[in-house]
Amino acid sequence: MAKNSVAIVEMGLRDGLQNEKVVLDADTRVEFARRLIEAGTKRVEIGAFVSPQWVPQMAGTKEVVSKAFGLQKSGQIPKKTEFSVLVPNERGMQDAIASGVKEIAIFAACSESFSQKNINCSIDESFKRFEPVMALAKKHKIKVRGYLSTCFGCPFEGKVPEARVVKLAQRMHKLGVYELSVGDTIGVANVGQVHSLFKKIKKVVPVKKLAGHFHDTRGQALANILAAYEEGVRVFDTSLGGLGGCPYAPGATGNVATEDVVYMFHGMGIKTGLNLDKLIAIDPWMSEKIQHALPWKVGKVGPLKPLGKVAVSK
């Protein structure tokens, strides 16, 4: 990664859409990806191989991946664009392999209650499920990204002990994930917590392998991202327009808006590789598709543009 820059991982197609009432078809999702990539997006989590019975919004991920690869092959999408998919277990991994993706993501919770609610198993059982997934990934030369959810708080249990999060971060790292995304699933974190937790995690996982995943439920996401940046984190998960939320986390709103994060970093002189105006231009289209306004801030008003000098009477 270039000096004085950060990497943005776009969550809009997976984390963003999984909690929407309107289920978008494969062609619309591919068009969404194409527009994001046109705006400079280089890393896209494009879907999830999960049961459509539980997450109907992710049905058709195989078709989405196939169409996206087709655009990439024809040159309509840059070949360097990286697509990943979320997989919960060995069955999902088999689907991912068949789709031809070169990167998948696995996820574990830091709260037993959330693990049971989200994936119907204990934390230890979820790690057991990862073993065949990691073996298949190694066999097929597929990169694996790891997520830890509810790192700062759980909707069912409340506060989550830092020691538990650090232990699970180390456990995930030892599995062999190339990057670990530390998640504030319900948007409960504050700046003090972020500094404290990342300071501890850095002792067991190299900071260059860490990413931040912040939801903006309480309006703290940008401050928390800045705190993580100050701790050395240089990769952040975002979602266009603040789309999303977790269907198993009551009250949680979407991931932090990509536009808001880009605006902040560009204002600091930090490169993201993204074109803010092009990102904002996607918002009305997406709002129409999901049939409601997006909860972004920068997207509503755009960057500062002078209206022209006002005549001053003498």
Angstrom distance (rounded) from CA 226 to CA 211: 12
Q: Tell me the three-class secondary structure of 32-59, residue by residue.
A: HHHHHHHCCCCEEEEEECCCCCCCHHHC
Angstrom distance (rounded) from CA 53 to CA 33: 24
Angstrom distance (rounded) from CA 42 to CA 195: 28
Angstrom distance (rounded) from CA 290 to CA 288: 6
To the query of whether residue 154 is one of the catalytic residues in this protein, the response is no
Any idea what DSSP says for residue 271?
B
Closest listed residue to residue 244, CA positions, set 193, 296, 279, 281 = 296
Angstrom distance (rounded) from CA 138 to CA 44: 21
Angstrom distance (rounded) from CA 251 to CA 85: 25
**Which segments of the chain does DSSP mark as H helices, in order?**
26-38, 61-73, 90-99, 112-119, 123-139, 162-175, 191-201, 221-230, 258-267, 276-290, 298-301
Angstrom distance (rounded) from CA 227 to CA 231: 6
Closest listed residue to residue 147, CA positions, set 36, 237, 33 = 237
Return the structure tokens found at 216: 């903006």
Closest listed residue to residue 149, CA positions, set 288, 223, 248, 68 = 248
Catalytic entry in 110, 121, 154, 246? 246
Catalytic positions are 246
